[in-house]
Structure 1
Amino acid sequence: MAADKESTMRRVYVLPTELVDRITSFQADMKLQSEVEAARRLLDEALKQRDDAEAITRRFLERLKDTRMMSDIAKDVLVGHPLINQIKINASSISFGMTTGDQVTVFQDGTASMQDRHKQSFNINSEGQLIRDDIPF
């Protein structure tokens, strides 16, 4: 319970009535217990649409620091993400493809390799630095 408290933050927002009505309608449609959970899910889905390969990869690598169970991380970070269209699980890596054409492989050692839609390759080292041709960005 204490860990949950540390990973959440209370905020108060003033929203237009019409937006609140749409949130409560979503809550009822999805049979969610609270308006807060409805707003949380809607925000999360909207923000995922803004993700790129680097953001998703960094989120994956950040979670890898806490748990070494790559399949669990894939379930939490990749499965159901609206921009992920392919996931491949290997013994020491997980690869995923995106609707944008980007391809990423995350390795158990906390590094990753990425290839963008233009076939340019990048790496992320274990310190989280983006590297192209061994030159940190």
Structure 2
Amino acid sequence: MFEPENSLEALMQAAAKDPGVVPAFYKVLLDAEIYVLTPEMSVKPGQRRPLKSRETINIASVEFQGLTWHPAFTSRKRISDYVREPESCLGAAARNLFELLPNSNFWLNPLSECQKPLPASEVSLLMTGKIFETLKTAK
């Protein structure tokens, strides 16, 4: 049974059941800290470090249905549900990750009971704010 760890997860779970909650989920998502796996980044388990200016990082990706997706997680617990061995990760506001990785597909909480694919087209609409117009006309 999925138990939300934070307000983002609670909204994500509610939005899956009630389309009226979707706009609130998207608004909170942009400023929420999410995590992506960075397998080649040198950080010891449990430690944090800032990114260096112009640092090159490798973000983990998976192939699914012919597309490349970045697994992204709404809490640290969701990471440990996904990978069994300690893995380095980058935590940042979703907005910043979306800017850092333009035209990328993200999959929030893959393998979780509460997951959400975010194709690049949806991320683009979210970043420009046009997704809120789309949601209004879909009602």
Report the TM-score range of the alignment, normalised by the length of the smaller protein. under 0.3
Give TM-score, length-normalised by structure 2: 0.24
Q: Which has the larger radius of gyration?
A: 1
Question: Using CA pairs below 8 Å that are at least 6 residues apart, which structure has the higher relative contact order?
Answer: 2
